[in-house]
Amino acid sequence: TPAQQLPIKLLYGAGLRVGELVQLRVQDINLSSREVTVRDGKGGLDRVSVLPDALIEPVGHQLEELRRMQRREKRRGEPTRVPLPASLTAKKPHAAFELSWMWLFPANPKRNRNGDLVRWHRSVSAVQKAFKEALRKSSVEKDASCHTLRHSFATHLLRAGTDIRTVQKLLGHTNVSTTMRYLHVL
């Protein structure tokens, strides 16, 4: 389904780890500059990756669907909150209801101990399961995982002539030797 395809396409198109993908929030997407900001990635570092032209429209549709979902919940009088970073919870408690803090790929809401509806992000395992199902349906005979898409992202950039330092930055590697592993494929 399109709802399952977009996360998988974004894994490849932006070179994301699956854990980074599910934690993307609306504010992490910049359609005009074609950027995806990964916050608190591996090693606790933030980085910016590319948002491919082919995903601008589908990601735009996803953002619009999130806006509609938020409006429906408000009309019903039961808006869902999203968990916030601890430092922000005390400073801006209403941010938990703002569109910018909503997960790009939300899960269904659940009630917390206080009876409030809270919406977490889609689980890593749900994305992995969707990928495995897509792989099975495609009749690809190769063993692959969500992380294979990240490797493909890097390999295709290097094949296209992108310099190793740029690929390193997009992948969020602190050491270029980690990125160099992708050169053996070439």
- Told to judge if 150 belongs to the known catalytic residues of this protein, a careful annotator would answer yes
Among residues 12, 17, 47, 119, the one annotated as catalytic is 17
How far is Cα 108 from Cα 85, in angstroms, rounded to an integer? 20
Among residues 9, 34, 39, 147, the one annotated as catalytic is 147
- Told to judge if 173 belongs to the known catalytic residues of this protein, a careful annotator would answer yes
Among residues 12, 119, 121, 182, the one annotated as catalytic is 182
Among residues 81, 119, 122, 173, the one annotated as catalytic is 173
Among residues 9, 34, 42, 156, the one annotated as catalytic is 42
- Told to judge if 156 belongs to the known catalytic residues of this protein, a careful annotator would answer no
Using alpha carbons, select from 102, 141, 148 the residue that is nearest to residue 8: 148
Active-site residues, by number, are 17, 42, 147, 150, 173, 182
